[in-house]
Amino acid sequence: MSISYPGAEGILRQEILARLEEAGRNGVEEGALQEQVAETPGELPGTLRRLEREGKAVEMDGRWFAPDHADWEVGVVERLEEGDALFRPSARPVGRPVGRAEPTFYIRKRNLKRALDGDTVVVRPLGKGRPWDDRPPEGMVVKVLGSRHDTLVGSLETDERGLRWLTPFDPKVSLELPVEGAEEVPDGWYVVVAVDRIGRTHQGRLLEVLGDIAVPGVDVLVVLRHHGIPDEFPAAVLEKAAAFPPDPRLEDWTGREDLREKVVFTIDGETARDFDDAVSIERLPGGDFRLGVHIADVAYYVREGDVLDTEAYRRGTSVYYPERAVPMLPEGLSNGLCSLRPDVPRLTLSAFLDIDRQGHVYSRRFAETVIRSARRLTYNEVRRVLEEPQEGDAAEYGPVLPALREMGGLMKILNAARSARGSIDFDLPEGDVVLDTDGVMVGIMPEQRNVAHRLIEEFMIAANEAVAFELVSREVPALYRVHSAPSPERLEELRELLATFGLQLKGELDELPPRALQEVMREAHGRPEEPFINSVVLRTMQRAYYAPQCLGHYALASQYYCHFTSPIRRYPDLVVHRQLRALLRGRAAEYAQQSRIAERLPAMGEHTSKMEKRSEQSERDLLQWKKVRFLADRAGETFHGRITGVQPFGLFVQLDGYYVDGMVPIRTMADDFYRYEPEAHRLVGERTGRVFRLADPVDVVLVGASPKARGLDFVLKDMPEPGSRPETSRRVFRNEDDGRKPSRKAPAGKGKKRGASRG
| Arithmetic mean of pLDDT, 104-119 | 85
d(CA 59, CA 67): 10
User: Is there a domain that residue 759 lies in?
Assistant: no
The answer to whether residues 571 and 614 belong to one domain is yes
Pick from 270, 266, 327: nearest CA to 298:
327
Give helix 530-540 / helix 514-524 axis angle, nearest 10°.
160
The domain boundary residue, chosen from 145, 180, 199: 145
| Arithmetic mean of pLDDT, 371-375 | 97
How many CB atoms sit inside 10 A of residue 672's CB? 20
d(CA 281, CA 393): 19
Residue 55: predicted pLDDT: 83
Q: What is the 3-state secondary structure (H, E, C) of 359-372?
A: CCEEEEEEEEEEEE
d(CA 603, CA 571): 13
The DSSP symbol for 333 reads: I
The answer to whether residues 273 and 371 belong to one domain is yes
User: Residues with Cβ < 8 Å from 190, sequence gap 6 or more?
Assistant: 153, 154, 155, 156, 169, 210, 211, 212, 213, 218, 221, 222
Residue 602 in 3-state DSSP?
A: helix
| Span 308-356, pLDDT tens digits | 999 999 999 999 999 899 999 999 999 999 999 999 999 999 999 999 9
Q: How confident is the model at residue 91 (pLDDT cuts 50, 70, 90)?
A: low
DSSP for 117-141, written as a single string = TT-EEEEEE-S---TTSSSPPBEEE
Answer whether residue 612 shows pLDDT above 60: yes
The answer to whether residues 321 and 272 belong to one domain is yes
The answer to whether residues 277 and 367 belong to one domain is yes
d(CA 415, CA 58): 53
Q: How confident is the model at residue 95 (pLDDT cuts 50, 70, 90)?
A: very low
Give the residue, 323 or 610, on which the prediction is more confident: 610
d(CA 710, CA 706): 6
What are the backbone angles phi and psi of residue 600, rounded to the nearest 5°?
Answer: -85, -20
**Dihedral of CA 369/373/379/383: which sign?**
negative
Count: domains in the chain: 5
The answer to whether residues 327 and 358 belong to one domain is yes
Pick from 743, 748, 536, 720: nearest CA to 661:
748
User: Is there a domain that residue 756 lies in?
Assistant: no
d(CA 566, CA 654): 33
d(CA 204, CA 196): 6
d(CA 456, CA 462): 10
User: Is there a domain that residue 77 lies in?
Assistant: yes
Kindly report the CATH number assigned to the domain that includes residue 168: 2.40.50.140
| Span 674-692, pLDDT tens digits | 999 988 889 999 999 999 9
| Span 24-72, pLDDT tens digits | 888 888 888 887 775 555 688 888 888 888 888 888 888 898 888 777 8
Residue 93: predicted pLDDT: 38
- Average pLDDT over the chain, rounded to whole? 88
Which helix (H) or strand (E) element contains residue 490?
A: helix 488-499
Q: Are 269 and 339 in contact (CB under 8 A)?
A: no
The answer to whether residues 351 and 406 belong to one domain is yes
d(CA 312, CA 229): 12
Answer whether residue 81 shows pLDDT above 80: no
The answer to whether residues 339 and 453 belong to one domain is yes
User: Residues with Cβ < 8 Å from 718, sequence gap 6 or more?
Assistant: 699
User: Is there a domain that residue 224 lies in?
Assistant: no
User: Is there a domain that residue 2 lies in?
Assistant: no
Residue 708, domain extent: 635-734
Q: Using the CB atoms, write b or e for 717-743: b if 16+ within 10 Å.
A: eebeeeeebeeeeeebeebbeeeeeee
Length reported for the chain: 759
How many CB atoms sit inside 10 A of residue 65's CB? 22
How many CB atoms sit inside 10 A of residue 638's CB? 12
Q: How confident is the model at residue 8 (pLDDT cuts 50, 70, 90)?
A: confident
Q: Are 330 and 233 in contact (CB under 8 A)?
A: yes
Q: How confident is the model at residue 128 (pLDDT cuts 50, 70, 90)?
A: low
- The sheet with strand 691-693 has its strands ordered as 674-677, 682-685, 691-693
Residue 738: predicted pLDDT: 33
Residue 244: predicted pLDDT: 96
The answer to whether residues 324 and 430 belong to one domain is yes
The answer to whether residues 570 and 690 belong to one domain is no
Residue 283: predicted pLDDT: 96
Helix residue spans in 274-378 (DSSP H): 298-301, 307-315, 331-332
User: Is there a domain that residue 742 lies in?
Assistant: no
| Span 492-541, pLDDT tens digits | 999 999 998 999 999 999 999 999 999 999 999 989 888 889 989 999 99
User: Residues with Cβ < 8 Å from 751, sequence gap 6 or more?
Assistant: 535, 538, 539, 620
User: Residues with Cβ < 8 Å from 595, sequence gap 6 or more?
Assistant: 1, 5, 304
**Strand-pair partners of 158:** 164
d(CA 162, CA 165): 10
Give the residue, 230 or 71, on which the prediction is more confident: 230
| Span 438-490, pLDDT tens digits | 788 888 877 778 999 999 999 999 999 999 999 999 999 999 999 999 999 99
The answer to whether residues 207 and 315 belong to one domain is no
Pick from 652, 637, 736, 642: nearest CA to 698:
642
Residue 41: predicted pLDDT: 54
| Arithmetic mean of pLDDT, 283-301 | 97
The answer to whether residues 417 and 359 belong to one domain is yes
Report residue 570 CA to chain centroid gap.
Answer: 13
Q: Are 627 and 732 in contact (CB under 8 A)?
A: no
d(CA 153, CA 207): 10
d(CA 673, CA 428): 35
| Arithmetic mean of pLDDT, 567-585 | 97
Helix residue spans in 5-43 (DSSP H): 8-23, 30-36
Residue 270 in 3-state DSSP?
A: coil
d(CA 555, CA 759): 12
DSSP for 401-442, written as a single string = HHHHHHHHHHHHHHHHHHHHTT-------EEEEEE-TTS-EE
Give the residue, 568 or 449, on which the prediction is more confident: 568
Residue 39: predicted pLDDT: 59
**Dihedral of CA 608/610/611/613: which sign?**
positive
What separation, in Å, do the N-terminal and C-terminal C-alpha atoms of the chain show?
A: 33
The answer to whether residues 249 and 186 belong to one domain is no
Pick from 208, 217, 215: nearest CA to 153:
208
Report the range of poorest mean pLDDT among 336-345, 385-394, 603-612, 707-716: 707-716
| Span 165-176, pLDDT tens digits | 999 998 877 777
Kindly report the CATH number assigned to the domain that includes residue 105: 2.40.50.700
**Strand-pair partners of 588:** none
Report residue 171 CA to chain centroid gap.
Answer: 19
Whole-angstrom CA distances from 158 to 181, 187, 213 are 13, 7, 17
Answer whether residue 423 shows pLDDT above 90: yes
